[in-house]
Structure 1
């Protein structure tokens, strides 16, 4: 192919032909205008199409809802007959109603309603969508299987969750259907090969798995925490902070080690986690506490202060009080003093007075919250 050459005369030479530059510009303008016109007509056409579809769905929705509820509470719902008489639009509306009601109902009513999902062929479609190259379609399939409590299409398929969202959705499906063998399986599904953080839903899923048996998560964290990206480590720490006494005698060295990392967010998350384990005597080492309260980051120091207040014993409160006396950052001082006020029954008032205005401010706000809470509770009871 011969490269076009722009001549000094304003003409363009290409493929052995000479074309005036003005003609080239006009042709380009026409092509662009045509493309814009086509795009506009397609956009308007799709908008009109979706508007018509929405109007049709809204028109049939009330009757279908009434029919669905009528059949649900009848002797024999006969979902197959209902679906057989429905148009394509009506089936889509039925699916949306099914989704809506399954999120609200439970027990035998939900079980009967799930049979409508079978009549609509949703499990079979979900099975096919698990093999899709589109993550959204795969997640949609897992969501439907969870709502319908139909794990078979997932269990019998060769589908392997790839993303954190898919991992969480798969574990949720198995949990909801009582098909998750144990916490070790759930933790493995969620964390094996994980290289990015979870969504809030995924973090909640990890917590629900660990709550049933913390051992697998703690063991995995102890051996893999150095390999995880920091956002994921922070999420695991947040989950562990909610396990409290259920961790038993499992080693928490990996948590204390996280308190020594360079990332202040991780150090703060580690302090939050350790706040739940004040009953562990191994955490009461004086040198460890002194290093923690001397952290260069005000954010981390504030988290450590709250950790000590959560422990609440005399030794922890004493360390906290001395640290607050030397605190120079206003926010860390306020957060630490507020936490200390929550333990004021363990603090001599004259000793706390050395904190001056910070103590007065925190005490006043604590009293306001207490009174406001009492008034609110009385209003609700009334």
Structure 2
């Protein structure tokens, strides 16, 4: 390597070192600036919060005049304070915060933001409107929020949060979230759909009855997932559309359909129609495993008998373990099962799992004396 090359490499190395130092200083400077800004914001919010509570103590708070006396920065901080409290406070205190929100014009501002084409401002507006009592019609929601999956889900959440104010809130919210059945739902949408359909009415079952044939497979699976985790007490809700899914060519769909019956064990008409023997002998292990888990959840004598049969006939070791876990969960005596050569190892394995789980639970209990543990 000649001298010129050495000098060139040295210059490059020095330049890189200088760049590194500059970037490090910029990062440190930005961090310090950001911390300072956060501290200022926190102090400002604390100040506004204190002023809010002081104003509340007055016989006549006159919220409109008080809000007008605040600076623009103080108003923004007040909005942040209200956003936090309106999510958790109820009763008379909540009514007070709603009065402050009305004085700030939050409802009008959020309603106007629904006209924007950008998604994020509309999502923020819907989140705010979900906390307020500002009147907004169902037609308005459908007109301004039906163009994207995220805004439809946010509108569905608004209908759920303010369900006492709307007739057929569960049905309308479910329609918004599912829409044409061609757009997979987010976790947020799935959670909202489940909450809309838990309780005395389950409009999702009626929607599926009418539209299951045109929904995308991924949406069908998601709907089954929601039904698996939704308490359903309507004895007349249509469930017939689920049965053909048990014969679907996709084992993933069949598995989801099996799990969707989890909350239907109390309906004798469903139990009598469900071909459990076919499900236990399905050629897909994930379908059989889902069946064992549903039987365990049902937990009656018939379910126990099917699980006992499955532990003997099951060829897949993992599925067999699931069936045995079910029997143990139902407090089935192991006599006659663990003595069989094919079951002994699996049965002991599950018992060991339970023992380890119990030991870990004891160790994490706040009432446990750790010195007495083995």
Measured in 2, the distance between the counterparts of 1:337 and 1:324 equals 6
Measured in 2, the distance between the counterparts of 1:94 and 1:50 equals 21
Alpha-carbon distance, 1:352 to partner: 5.0
CA contact (8 A) 1:131 1:159 kept: yes
Structure 2: segments with no counterpart, 5+ residues: 1-22, 369-374
Alpha-carbon distance, 1:165 to partner: 2.6
Measured in 2, the distance between the counterparts of 1:71 and 1:262 equals 66
CA contact (8 A) 2:201 2:232 kept: no
- Larger mean CA deviation between 73-82 and 215-224 belongs to 73-82
- Larger mean CA deviation between 107-116 and 236-245 belongs to 236-245
What is the correspondence of 1:160-175 to structure 2 with a 5 Å cutoff? 160-175=145-160
Change in 2 beyond 3 A, CA 1:372/1:297: same
Change in 2 beyond 3 A, CA 1:73/1:293: farther
Larger radius of gyration: 1
Change in 2 beyond 3 A, CA 1:76/1:357: farther
Measured in 2, the distance between the counterparts of 1:108 and 1:196 equals 41
Structure 1 length normalisation: TM-score?
A: 0.76
- Larger mean CA deviation between 50-59 and 210-219 belongs to 50-59
| Structure-2 residue corresponding to 1:130 | 114
Change in 2 beyond 3 A, CA 1:366/1:313: same
| Structure-2 residue corresponding to 1:188 | 175
| Structure-1 residue corresponding to 2:5 | none
CA contact (8 A) 1:353 1:359 kept: no
Alpha-carbon distance, 1:307 to partner: 1.5
- Larger mean CA deviation between 95-104 and 230-239 belongs to 230-239
Measured in 1, the distance between the counterparts of 2:195 and 2:46 equals 37
Residue 359 of structure 1, aligned match among 344, 347, 361: 347
Alpha-carbon distance, 1:369 to partner: 4.2
| Structure-2 residue corresponding to 1:30 | none
Q: Secondary structure at the match of 2:348?
A: helix
| Structure-1 residue corresponding to 2:80 | 96
| RMSD of aligned residue pairs (Cα, Å) | 3.3
Q: Secondary structure at the match of 1:270?
A: helix
What is the correspondence of 1:234-273 to structure 2 with a 5 Å cutoff? 234-244=221-231, 246-273=233-260
Q: Secondary structure at the match of 1:379?
A: coil
Structure 2 length normalisation: TM-score?
A: 0.78
What is the correspondence of 1:301-380 to structure 2 with a 5 Å cutoff? 301-345=288-332, 347=333, 349-351=335-337, 353-354=339-340, 355-367=343-355, 369=357, 379=367
How many aligned residue pairs are there?
336
Structure 1: segments with no counterpart, 5+ residues: 1-39
Measured in 2, the distance between the counterparts of 1:353 and 1:277 equals 34
> Deviations for 1:45-101, whole angstroms, at most 9, x for unmatched residues?
xx7998886565344222112112222344333322332222222221111111112
